[in-house]
């Protein structure tokens, strides 16, 4: 018999976050609205049980949250950046306290392994730590003026409200990638999480509330609206929201970009990936296998950085194909809260159908199935969301290979000649997020990292495509959207840039030597 929610300890987790059987779907941080929108049921892909329900936010609820965010911004922007950083530091401490229950809830609601759930919460902690240091380093520039007695400098100011639209696959980390930076920059946030993972959003709001109330943070700094696409559309068209950060499909991102661009707002887009690992003749098998396998099946292939394609040199093709097919035979698919399992379920039945359709399309285009896929049935698989990781020998030009399928399907293909041929194949897809090369050749690695090499926002050598460190900017090119989140100087998009010139003389010389005598 399948384990129940109580057996898994989820009931106790929900109690820790104050989550009830039925919950409201809009909050300003310190206040929950009595929402009366459509009832959204969060159904766990682990066992098919309903975790809880949420009454979605209505248009009126959304309006109230945005109005409170506007009020909160006027007060929050007056706090010093280090003072805002101190609040974020305390949030990191609170997340450390809640790491295990929040990680378990992420695993249960989304379906990723418990270790990956813990890893996602650790990412939240890491970005908070990064943001705390950043709060004392929001540097501008000074420059020399061409006019005597003048000084010029640049500084950064908070933008205002940051709208956050997040996806189900990283239900908490991506929200915090945005909020930690936005908050230390002096912005306030309104979050629309995926309606497929609303319960983890409520948990995050509760953790944030505890910290914010203890520090008398103005209400409205952390807003939440739970609901369907209509809330994302409202946010994208709202002129009061200067920046919309959206994570999801390329189709969704194009709609957001068009709406935000039409009002001359700014969008930060993190969209689809079609990520490849190039395997050269000098590649080390013991490095390739874990990188390729985890990249392809981690989170059930539902990461934007998941490995979708292996591009293998013909000289080592048979060796590597044999090794990875053997490795797939050792994978265990099952309850993600059982740490002996490698792969959990897909998020829902729609994802399962997309997976099955992709395999059908690959076969129809001439693909050779090396590791058979399919839906798992029987005890422990009652939710109907567990599928077998599949490997398909394919051509890069196949329509289905050019498309991102959010599922554990790995396409394998062969290249000949030098590495430039493999790089050309890798780049020959619409997406440009993450990429990797496995090689012990300095020439090949440098060619891959050069301007003529990978066209992706992330290019790795001797590690896989999946996963990223907080310290580097995360994002990609082409249909991935061009956005950058997390580390490096990604903070700058959350602020508006201002150039200042100060005249400390008794005269007014004009630039470029222009004379205008009165």
Question: Catalytic positions, please?
Answer: 270, 304
* 3-state DSSP of 293-355: HHHHHHHHHCCCCCEEEEEEECCCHHHHHHHHHHHHCCCCECCCCCCCCCECCCCCHHHHHHH
Q: How many CA atoms, within 13 angstroms, populate the side-chain half-sphere of residue 227?
A: 26
Query: What DSSP designation does 451 have?
Result: T
Per the listing, tokens 């010029």 go with 152
Residue 513 has which token pair?
A: 């030597």
Q: Judging by beta carbons within 10 Å of its beta carbon (0-12, 13-18, 19+), is residue 40 exposed, middle or buried?
A: buried
Q: Cα–Cα distance between 52 and 199 in angstroms, integer?
A: 7
Per the listing, tokens 């693909």 go with 367
Q: Give phi and psi for 220, each to the nearest 5.
A: 105, -10
Pairing of strands 477-478, 431-432: antiparallel
Taking a C-beta distance cutoff of 8 angstroms, is the pair 124, 173 a contact?
yes
Residue 509 has which token pair?
A: 């010389």
Dihedral of the alpha carbons of 14, 17, 18, 21, in degrees to the nearest 10: -30
Taking a C-beta distance cutoff of 8 angstroms, is the pair 255, 236 a contact?
yes
Taking a C-beta distance cutoff of 8 angstroms, is the pair 458, 298 a contact?
no
Q: How far is CA 331 from CA 124, 325, 344, 419, 422, in A?
A: 29, 10, 11, 31, 28
Hey, is 394 helix, strand or coil? coil
Q: Cα–Cα distance between 381 and 364 in angstroms, integer?
A: 28
Q: Give phi and psi for 274, each to the nearest 5.
A: -140, 70
Beta bridge partners of 458: 434
Q: Cα–Cα distance between 204 and 103 in angstroms, integer?
A: 11
Q: How far apart are the first and last CA of the chain?
A: 92
Side by side, the strands of the sheet bearing 50-55 are 22-24, 50-55, 39-43
């Amino acid at each position: 018999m399948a384990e129940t929610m109580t057996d898994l300890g989820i009931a106790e987790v929900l109690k820790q976050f104050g989550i009830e059987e039925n919950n409201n779907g809009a909050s300003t941080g310190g206040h929950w609205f009595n929402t009366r929108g459509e009832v959204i049921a969060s159904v766990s892909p682990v066992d098919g049980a309903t975790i809880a329900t949420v009454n979605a936010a209505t248009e009126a609820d959304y309006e109230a949250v945005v109005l409170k965010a506007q009020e909160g911004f006027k007060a929050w922007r007056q706090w010093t950046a280090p003072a805002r950083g101190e609040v974020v530091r305390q949030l990191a401490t609170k997340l450390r306290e809640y790491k295990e229950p929040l990680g378990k809830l992420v695993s249960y609601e989304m379906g990723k392994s418990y270790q990956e759930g813990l890893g996602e919460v650790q990412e939240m902690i890491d970005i908070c730590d990064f943001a705390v240091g950043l709060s004392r380093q929001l540097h501008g520039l000074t420059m020399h003026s061409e006019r005597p007695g003048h000084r010029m400098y640049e500084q950064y100011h908070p933008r205002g409200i940051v709208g956050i639209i997040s996806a189900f696959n990283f239900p908490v980390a991506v929200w915090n990638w945005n909020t930690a930076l936005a908050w230390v920059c002096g912005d306030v946030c309104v979050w629309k999480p995926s309606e497929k993972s609303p319960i983890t959003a409520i948990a995050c709001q509760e953790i944030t509330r505890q910290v914010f109330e203890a520090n008398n943070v103005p209400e409205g700094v952390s807003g939440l609206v739970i609901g369907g696409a209509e809330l994302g559309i409202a946010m994208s068209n709202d002129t009061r929201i200067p920046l919309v950060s959206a994570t999801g499909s390329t189709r969704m991102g194009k709609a957001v970009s068009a709406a935000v661009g039409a009002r001359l707002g700014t969008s930060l887009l993190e969209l689809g990936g079609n990520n490849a690992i190039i395997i050269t003749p000098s590649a080390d098998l013991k490095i390739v296998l874990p990188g390729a396998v985890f990249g392809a099946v981690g989170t059930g292939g539902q990461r934007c950085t998941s490995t979708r394609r292996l591009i293998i040199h013909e000289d080592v093709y048979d060796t590597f194909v044999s090794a990875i097919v053997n490795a797939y035979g050792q994978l265990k698919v099952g309850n993600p809260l059982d740490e002996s399992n490698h792969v959990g379920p897909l998020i829902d039945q729609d994802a399962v159908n997309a997976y099955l359709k992709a395999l059908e399309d690959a076969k129809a285009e001439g693909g050779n199935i090396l590791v058979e896929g399919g839906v798992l049935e029987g005890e422990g698989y009652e939710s109907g969301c567990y599928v077998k990781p599949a490997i398909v020998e394919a051509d890069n030009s196949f329509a289905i290979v050019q498309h991102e399928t959010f599922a554990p399907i790995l396409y394998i293909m062969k290249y000949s000649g030098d590495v430039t041929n493999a790089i050309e194949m890798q780049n020959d897809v619409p997406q440009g997020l993450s990429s990797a090369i496995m090689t012990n050749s300095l020439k090949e690695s440098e060619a891959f990292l050069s301007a003529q090499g990978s066209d992706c926002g992330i290019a790795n050598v001797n590690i896989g495509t999946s996963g990223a460190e907080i310290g580097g900017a995360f994002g990609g090119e082409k249909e991935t959207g061009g956005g950058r989140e997390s580390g490096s100087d990604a903070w700058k998009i959350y602020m508006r840039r201002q150039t200042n010139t100060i005249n400390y003389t008794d005269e007014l010389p004009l630039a470029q030597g222009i004379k205008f005598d009165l």
